[in-house]
Amino acid sequence: MTVDLADPALYARGDPHAVWRALRRADPVHWQPGTGGPGFWSVVRYEDVQRVLSDHTRFTSERGTLLNLLGRGDPAGGRQLAVTDPPRHDRMRAPLHRALKPRSVQAHTGVIRDGIRALLPGRDRPEFDLAAVCGLLPLTVLGPLLSLPEADRPHLVRLALMSAAEEDPAVQLPQGPAATLHRAHRELFAYFADLVRERRRRPRGDLVDVLLAMEVDGVRLTPGEVLSNCYSLLLGAGVTLAHVPTAAVAELSRDGGYEAWAADPGLLAGGVEEALRWASPAGHFMRHARHDTVLAGVPVAAGDAVVAWLGAANRDPAVFAGPDVFDPARSGNRHLAFGAGPHYCVGAGIARVTLRLFFAELFARYASLRLAGEPVRARSTFLSGYLQMPVRAGFRGRGKEQR
Amino acid sequence: MDGGALHEEFIARDELGMSGPYVEPRSETERRLAALWAQHLAVAPVGVEDDFFELGGDSLLAAEVQVAIDTEFGVEIEAAAVFLAPTVAALAEAVRRAPDTAGADG
């Protein structure tokens, strides 16, 4: 079959799930020839996605992990957590993982909850753009962790979006997608350069301080490595978390499941996992074969790019019964929304805490949420989610809202 | 900063197909900055109107350059000057404007 998985329009206007479904059946290790550049393999089955992401001895992250870097390489390879292989990766990850453990972030729970309450519109604004509201959610969490001034957050969200969805008309600069990426990278690095300089003078005990103090094999990170990891933390949260609630609400608004889920507090945690599976906001991660290898019976040559589609794996009927049904009561939900293997999202714990807080507040405030217009999906091969979602909220009785 | 020993591994500027002509440094600050860029980028010679990224630089390298400039000149230059539209001429101007940190701890 002829499909172009590298075409961002597929994810904005097409039906990627139908494409992935067909590939899972007929061509699960799919080669897409390059047009003026290298081609790439795609894996769409759960088992293959998990294997490619987990097996760093066969598949390296150091030549870039996003499809928009295919054929260009990544200057941060070996220097930024997400694009560094073990064993160096593990030594960089450990201190960040410690700082992001639930116990470490418990101190921020109150701040996050207050932030969420401030984000959600009240009775005076029953119609609003849920995507815009959720867009600020990541910084509500990451802001305190990196001590980012509140006034800077909308700008940072925009720059993160430019970095992850450079093809989208909402953020693309007139000079084109490549210029959009460059501009966003450089502005973010400049921003973090000033932040880091400030933090060197006055440590705040935040994640920036963790990066500044980090030693890998007795050697501190270089200034470029510190900035690159700040950038990576912003992207990791900034363009993913927001898309989990919107994906869930879009589906639940269609099938009336919102009220049922909201009515059963016992389904909160499981429903969040289902929302993560459903949304799969990081649509893919790319690897490169280190040497000639065989993937599900298909020979893959040394140096070939392999793209693992998380959104496809999370709808694989071999692992999920009724994969195209949103079921907050789903059991044994081993979704891959946070990835798999050594690069499993370092912020997964705090993301889960945040999403549970978010849905609890959402359910407490709104008895119902209905789409009030056509939602708009991002034009991006990586970022899978909605950038606009007009909704109409039905509010709970005053007593319940206050609980 | 003795670049002489390394020059054989340097890429000649002419090979990069730069969009503008080579403009020679006009002041001591520009000369020192051009030498510092040449060291970090392994490109020579560096013209004062050349764009850092066009010369093959990336954001990580720009971060190293910023710190190197601060150290070499005893100043704190604005990050925007290094990361957005960086040329030796613009950085020389930024160094001139920057608050002096010589003697400060850091």
DSSP structure string for A324-346:
TS--TT-SS----TT--GGGS-T
Residue range A8-401 forms a domain whose CATH class is mainly alpha
**What's the gap in Å between the CA of A186 and the closest CA on chain B?**
5
Chain B residues closer than 8 Å to A201 by CB: 106
B58 touches chain A (CB under 8 A): yes
A67 neighbors A286 (Cβ within 8 angstroms): yes
Amino acid A102: pLDDT? 77
Residue B106 lies in a domain: no
Locate A58 and state its tokens. Answer: 């066969």
In this prediction the ipTM stands at 0.85
Amino acid A91: pLDDT? 92
Q: Helix or strand or coil: residue A357? A: helix
pLDDT in tens, chain A (403 residues): 578 999 999 999 999 999 999 999 999 999 999 988 999 999 999 999 999 999 999 999 999 999 999 988 899 999 999 999 999 999 999 999 999 887 778 888 999 999 999 999 999 999 999 999 999 999 999 999 999 999 999 999 999 999 999 999 999 999 999 999 999 999 999 999 999 999 999 999 999 999 999 999 999 999 999 999 999 999 999 999 999 999 999 999 887 899 999 999 999 999 999 999 999 999 999 999 999 999 999 999 999 999 999 999 999 999 999 999 999 999 999 999 999 999 999 999 999 999 999 999 999 999 999 999 999 999 999 999 999 999 999 999 865 444 4
Please give the Cα distance from A346 to A349 (Å, whole number).
Answer: 8
A370 neighbors A391 (Cβ within 8 angstroms): yes
Average pLDDT for runs of 10 along chain B of length 106:
53 92 97 96 96 94 95 93 94 90 49
B54 touches chain A (CB under 8 A): no
The verdict on a CB contact (< 8 Å) between A185 and B59 is yes
Amino acid A402: pLDDT? 42
> Which residues, 6 or more positions from A155, have their beta carbon under 8 angstroms from its beta carbon?
none
Chain A residues closer than 8 Å to B53 by CB: 182, 186
Q: Which of A187, A201, A223 is nearest residue B63 as measured by Cβ atoms?
A: A223
A22 neighbors A390 (Cβ within 8 angstroms): no
Please give the Cα distance from A313 to A27 (Å, whole number).
Answer: 14
Please give the Cα distance from A238 to A298 (Å, whole number).
Answer: 36
Locate B62 and state its tokens. Answer: 């720009």
A64: left (phi over 0), alpha (psi -120 to 50) or beta: left
The verdict on a CB contact (< 8 Å) between B58 and A226 is no
Locate A296 and state its tokens. Answer: 């599900």
**What's the gap in Å between the CA of A95 and the closest CA on chain B?**
21
CATH number for B9:
1.10.1200.10
A281 neighbors A48 (Cβ within 8 angstroms): no
Q: Helix or strand or coil: residue A399? A: helix
Residue B73 lies in a domain: yes
Range of the domain at B34: 4-97
A228 neighbors B60 (Cβ within 8 angstroms): yes
The total of structural domains in chain B comes to: 1
Residue B105 lies in a domain: no
Please give the residue of chain B at the shortest CA–CA distance from A181: B59
At CB < 8 Å, which residues of chain A contact B?
A: 75-76, 79, 182, 185-187, 189-191, 193-194, 197, 200-201, 222-228, 231
Q: Which of A79, A197, A201 is nearest residue B60 as measured by Cβ atoms?
A: A79
Residue B42 lies in a domain: yes
The owner of tokens 């081993």 is A334
B61 touches chain A (CB under 8 A): yes
Amino acid A399: pLDDT? 52
Amino acid B103: pLDDT? 45
The owner of tokens 């694989």 is A316
A275 neighbors A244 (Cβ within 8 angstroms): yes
Q: Helix or strand or coil: residue A256? A: coil
Domain assignments of chain A as residue spans, ordered by start: 8-401
The owner of tokens 């509201």 is A133
**What's the gap in Å between the CA of A221 and the closest CA on chain B?**
11
Neighbours of A331 (CB within 10 A): 8
Chain A residues closer than 8 Å to B61 by CB: 75, 224
